[in-house]
Structure 1
Amino acid sequence: MVHPPQLLLTAFLVTSGSLAACPTADGLLASLATNGYEPRTLPNHRTSGANGPPVEVRIQLYLAAIVQVDQKQQLLSVEGYFRQEWSDERLNSSAGVGDCEDAITLDLPVRGVWQPDIYFDNSIREWYGVGSMRIYPDARVWRSVRFNHLMRCPMSFHRLPFDTQRCFILIGSYSWEVSKVNTSAFSDGPVEMPEGYDGTIEWELVEVTSEVTTEWFGTGIHRKGYKYVTIYLSLQRRSSNLIMFVFGTAIGFSLVAYVGLFIPKAAAPARVASSVIPVLIMLNLQNNVTNQLPALSYLTWLTSFLVSMTLFTMSTVFEYGVVSVLMQVEARKIRKFEAFKRLTADAHKRAEEQEVSISMEDIQKTDAAVAYVYKLFDSDGESGLTLKEVQSGFKALGQHFSLDQVKETFVKLGVEGHRMKKEDFHRMLKDIDDYMPGKNAFKLTFWEREPADQVDIVFRWAFIIGLVLVTLLWILFR
C-alpha cells in the first residue's frame, strides 16, 4: 500500500521534472543559439539534400477599423492586428518546446526564430506597434502585431455619389517562391472584424472577400511563382449627404432661376440677379465636388448633372439678353409712335390757335411721316384697312392690341364692316388718344404679344420641361 506522503512526493518530482524540461522565453532563445538553430534557414531545410514540402504560412488580418478613405489620392488606411501562423519542427529538436504544457510567449521583435518575410504589396506607408510570438508544444508558431497601413486603392467615380469602390490588400512572401513558402489564409478566413462593424461615416463596408493566387515573375528558367492572399473590401458610398446638399441644392437653385423668369422684364436688376446668382451657386457646387476628387478625364454622374444644371441657369442669362434686345427694338417703335403723336398734336394746336379745323388735305400735307405711318398699316396696298392690317400697323409702332381691341376702335370710328377707309384712318389720326383701344380690356393671345413676352413664355415652358426631363433621366439612369 502506498502512503499519501509518497504519492505527494512522486507528484512533486514529476511536476518538477516537467517544469524543468520546459524552457523559459530567454532559455528558449539561448537554446536555439547554442544548439545549431539557424533563423535564416527555412524550416523545411534538410541538411541531407532535398528540402521538404513548402512551408505553410497562414495569415489573417483582424481589421479593427477603416481609418480613412482618401478618394482624392485614392488611398485606404486600415488598422488592426496582423496574424501569421506556421510550423517549425526544429524548435522541438533544438529547444525542446515539445516538453512544455503550454505555449511560450515572446515579445516582438524576436531575432533568434525564423519568421516568414510576409509583406503588403500595395502599401504606401506601414506602421507596426506592439506584438508577440507564441510557440506551442507542437512546434506551431503564432505571431500577432498591431499595424496601421496606408494602401493604394484604384477607384472609379463614374457613378458618384452611388459608387462602390473595391479596395484590395495584397499579401505574400517577398523572397520565397511557391516551392518554398506557400502563403494561405487561416482556416476561419483571412479577415476578422469587430461584430457589427460597417465602415466609416462616409463609406459603408458592404462585403469582404478574398482569394489566393499565384503571381509569376521573370522569364525562362528564372520564372518563379509567388503565392499571394488578396483581400477585397467593397466600400459603398453613403450618398445621402451629397444627394441632399449638392443634388438637392442644384435643383433648388435651378428652380430659383426659373421663378426669376416671371419677374417683370423691365425690372432688369431683379432679373439679372435671379439669373446670375444660381450660376454662381452651380459653379461653387462643382468646385466643392471636384476638389474632393482626383483630376479626372471623365464626368461623373453628379458632376455631369451639375454641368447640366449650370447650363440651365446660364441659359436664363442669355435669355434675358435676347429679351433686352427685343425690348430695345420695341422701345424704338414706341419712340416712333410718340413722335407721330406729337406730330398730330402740333397740328391740332395750330388749328386751335387759328380756330379752324384741320382738313384731310392738311393732315396729308402735315409731314411725310403720315404717309409713312399709313404705309405701315396698309400692308396689301388695297383700298381700306382690315382689322388685321390695323392690328399689324399698331404693332409696328410698338402698340400690341388684340383683334377685339381693334374692333373697339372700329366701333368708336363708326366704321361699318371689317375694312377701315382712308378717311376713317385720317379721322383716327386727328384724335389718336381718343380712338386708341383700351390697354387692358381684352386678353392678348400668344401671337399678339410683344416679341420679348413671347420669348419669355416659350423659354419658361422649355426651361421647366427640360429641367424635369433631365432630372428624371439622371435619376433613372444612375
Structure 2
Amino acid sequence: MGWSGCSSVKAKMTLTKLMMCLVLIPAAAFARNPKSAEGRIRDYILNQPDYSPRERPVLNSNLSVNVNIQVQIYGMLDLNEKDQTVTIASWTQLSWRDERLTWNPNDFEGVLCVVVYFDEIWTPRILLSNAMSFEGLQVVSANRGTILLYCDGTVFLGTSFVQCTQCAMKFRNFPFDTQSCQLVFSPENQSKQQINFTASDPRMPSSIVSNEWDFVGFSSYNNEHINTFVESDESSYISTFGIFSFQLKRDPNYYITTIVIPSTLLCLMSYATFLAPPDSGERIGLGVSMVLGLTVFQLLVTNILPTASKNGPIISTYLSNTFVLSCLAVPFSLFNITIAYGDSKMTILKHGRIRMFLLELLPRVMCLPSYQERFDGERNDNARSQIVKKEGEMVTISPVEVISKNKLQPWSSPAVTEAESLSTLEKRKLEARTLGLVMDRLVLLCFLVAYTIIVINTFARFYHSPEEVA
C-alpha cells in the first residue's frame, strides 16, 4: 500500500511538469518572437469566422459597391495603322471600400495601412472590353499588382500592364491628323445594383517617348449599357463602365520631307520639258525619265501611306493628280514636236485671224519671236550668205557686196529679190516651228494653272475638313 501510493504521487508530479512545459514553451517562443501590429491586424480582420472573400464587401445586400478606377499612361509601344490597334503601358488603380475590414488604429500601435493579397479579400472582376488579347482582358490579376488596406476599410489596388486595344482611326487629314483611342473598362457580368463602376479624372502622361506621336489630351467619362441575354425585359440589366480617351497628334515633318516635297519637285521637273526646244533630242527622254521616277516614288509611298478604303487621305488625291499631270506631259510633248516638224500645211493657219492670233499675238504675249520676226531674220540671213556664180565657178561673197550689188538697205529693204525670198517649204517650216514653240508655252501655262488649282484645292480641303477624331 505504501509503495503504490508513492508511485501514484510521482506519476502525478511528472504529469504536472509535462503540462507546465507544454504551456511555458510556446509562451517562451512567443516572448522571443512576438507578432507585429500588422500581423495582429491581419489576424483580427482576416480570421473572422463570417468573412468570405467571395461575398461583396457591403453589410447591406441592397447596396452597390462603388468601385473607382484611375489610369495613367507612361508609355506607348506601338500604333499599328493597318490593324488599327494601339499598344500602351499604363498604371491602373482601383479603389473601393470594404465595410467588413475595419479596425481602430489606437488598438494596434497606430497602424493605418496593411498589405493584403488577392485571395484574402474580395476584389472586383474588371474587364478591358476593347482589348485585343486574352492576357489584357483581365485587369485584376493575382500575378501583378499589390493591395493596400486602410483602417476605414478603403482598398487601393494598383496594377501595371501592357494593353493592346482596338483604336478606330481616320486618315483623311493625314499627315496632319489627330487620332483618339479609348480604354473601355467594365465589370464582368455585374449590374449597376451590384457594382457602380466609375472612372475618375486621369493624370496626363509625364514622359511619353514617341518619334511620331504627341499626347495632346487625356479625358474620362462614364456611361451605362443595357445588357440583354434573351429577348425579354426580365433578363436585361444595366451595367456601368468607364471610358478613358487619349488623343494623339501626328508629327507631319517626316512625311512632308519624304512625300510632299519630292513629289512636288518631280512633278514640276516633268513640266520643265516644255522649256526645252522641240529639236532637242533629250526632250522625250527627259519626260519619260520623270514619269518613271515618279512611278517608282509612288510605289515607295504606297508603303508609307495608311490604308483606308473609305475617306482616304487628302494627300493621296494630291499625289494621284500630280502623277496624272506628269504622265500627260509626255503625249503633249510628242504632239508639240509633231506640230513643230510637220511637213504639211496646217489647216488652222488658213484663217487670217487665227493665223494672226497664233503666229503674231501669242508669241509676243509669251515673250517669243513672232512669225514675221523669224521670217525677217531668215530672209536677212539668206541675204548675208548669198552664193552667186561668177565666171563659171561658185564664189561666196560677203553680205556687204550682196547688198551693194542689189542696192539694198540692210535689214530694211522693202524690195525682195528672188535670191532673198524664202521657198514655200521654208516658210511652212518656219510657221510650224513658231506654232510649236507657242504651243509649248501655252501647254506649260495650262499645266502650271492646273497644278496651282490642285494645290489650292488640297489646301482648301485640309482647311475646311473638320478635325476627324476617331
CA deviation vs aligned residue, 1:277-322 (integer Å, no higher than 9, x gap):
3334444444444434234234311111101111111111221232
CA distance in 2, matches of 1:407, 1:137: 107
Q: Does 1:471 align with 2:455?
A: yes
- Corresponding position of 1:272: 284
Q: Does 1:308 align with 2:308?
A: no
Judge conservation of contact 1:282–1:309 (CA < 8 Å) in 2.
no
5 Å matches for 1:338-357?
none
Deviation at 1:406, TM superposition (A): 6.5
Structure 1 477/32 Cα, relative in aligned 2: closer, same or farther at 3 Å? same
| Alignment RMSD (CA, Å) | 4.0
CA distance in 2, matches of 1:326, 1:243: 40
Secondary structure of the equivalent of 1:124? coil
Judge conservation of contact 2:87–2:163 (CA < 8 Å) in 1.
yes
Deviation at 1:20, TM superposition (A): 5.3
Deviation at 1:199, TM superposition (A): 6.2
Secondary structure of the equivalent of 1:146? strand
- Corresponding position of 1:80: 90
Structure 1 289/137 Cα, relative in aligned 2: closer, same or farther at 3 Å? farther
CA distance in 2, matches of 1:311, 1:160: 21
Q: Does 1:299 align with 2:269?
A: no
Structure 1 453/289 Cα, relative in aligned 2: closer, same or farther at 3 Å? same
Q: Letter of the 1:111 partner, please give it.
A: D
Q: Aligned residue pairs: how many?
A: 369
- Corresponding position of 1:192: 203
Secondary structure of the equivalent of 1:192? coil
- Corresponding position of 1:337: none
Judge conservation of contact 1:73–1:294 (CA < 8 Å) in 2.
no
Judge conservation of contact 1:97–1:136 (CA < 8 Å) in 2.
no
Deviation at 1:106, TM superposition (A): 3.5
Corresponding residue to 1:231 among 240, 244, 258: 244
**Which consecutive residues of structure 1, in runs of 5 or more, have no partner in the other structure?**
1-15, 335-375, 381-386, 392-399, 415-423
TM-score, L = length of structure 2: 0.68
Structure 1 299/453 Cα, relative in aligned 2: closer, same or farther at 3 Å? farther
Deviation at 1:182, TM superposition (A): 0.6
- Which stretch of structure 1 is more off in the superposition, 198-207 or 223-232? 198-207
Judge conservation of contact 2:340–2:437 (CA < 8 Å) in 1.
no
Structure 1 88/274 Cα, relative in aligned 2: closer, same or farther at 3 Å? same
CA distance in 2, matches of 1:71, 1:97: 57
CA distance in 1, matches of 2:54, 2:63: 17
Corresponding residue to 2:276 among 248, 255, 263: 263
- Corresponding position of 1:119: 127
- Report which structure shows greater RCO (CA 8 Å, sep ≥6): 2
Q: Letter of the 1:209 partner, please give it.
A: S
CA distance in 2, matches of 1:315, 1:40: 75
CA distance in 1, matches of 2:119, 2:332: 78
Judge conservation of contact 1:97–1:137 (CA < 8 Å) in 2.
no
5 Å matches for 1:59-98?
59-92=69-102
CA distance in 2, matches of 1:311, 1:55: 64
- Corresponding position of 2:4: none
CA deviation vs aligned residue, 1:95-140 (integer Å, no higher than 9, x gap):
9998561311246xx2222111111111113457742111111111
Judge conservation of contact 2:75–2:208 (CA < 8 Å) in 1.
no
Structure 1 65/179 Cα, relative in aligned 2: closer, same or farther at 3 Å? same
CA distance in 2, matches of 1:88, 1:404: 101
Corresponding residue to 2:155 among 132, 141, 148: 141
Q: Letter of the 1:192 partner, please give it.
A: R
CA distance in 1, matches of 2:250, 2:291: 28
Corresponding residue to 1:252 among 260, 265, 275: 265
5 Å matches for 1:200-219?
200-218=210-228, 219=232
CA distance in 2, matches of 1:121, 1:474: 39
CA deviation vs aligned residue, 1:343-371 (integer Å, no higher than 9, x gap):
xxxxxxxxxxxxxxxxxxxxxxxxxxxxx
CA distance in 2, matches of 1:280, 1:106: 69
Q: Does 1:155 align with 2:155?
A: no
CA deviation vs aligned residue, 1:405-437 (integer Å, no higher than 9, x gap):
3799699899xxxxxxxxx99x94xx6xx5328
CA distance in 1, matches of 2:313, 2:459: 13
CA distance in 2, matches of 1:236, 1:282: 29
CA distance in 1, matches of 2:374, 2:276: 28
CA distance in 2, matches of 1:227, 1:149: 21
Secondary structure of the equivalent of 1:402? helix
Give percent identity, aligned residues only: 18
Structure 1 468/83 Cα, relative in aligned 2: closer, same or farther at 3 Å? same
Secondary structure of the equivalent of 1:80? strand
Q: Letter of the 2:438 partner, please give it.
A: Q
- Corresponding position of 1:453: 437
- Which stretch of structure 1 is more off in the superposition, 300-309 or 254-263? 254-263
Judge conservation of contact 1:282–1:306 (CA < 8 Å) in 2.
no
Deviation at 1:454, TM superposition (A): 3.3
Deviation at 1:404, TM superposition (A): 7.5
Structure 1 244/435 Cα, relative in aligned 2: closer, same or farther at 3 Å? same
Structure 1 273/91 Cα, relative in aligned 2: closer, same or farther at 3 Å? farther
CA deviation vs aligned residue, 1:384-422 (integer Å, no higher than 9, x gap):
xxx99xx9xxxxxxxx952783799699899xxxxxxxx
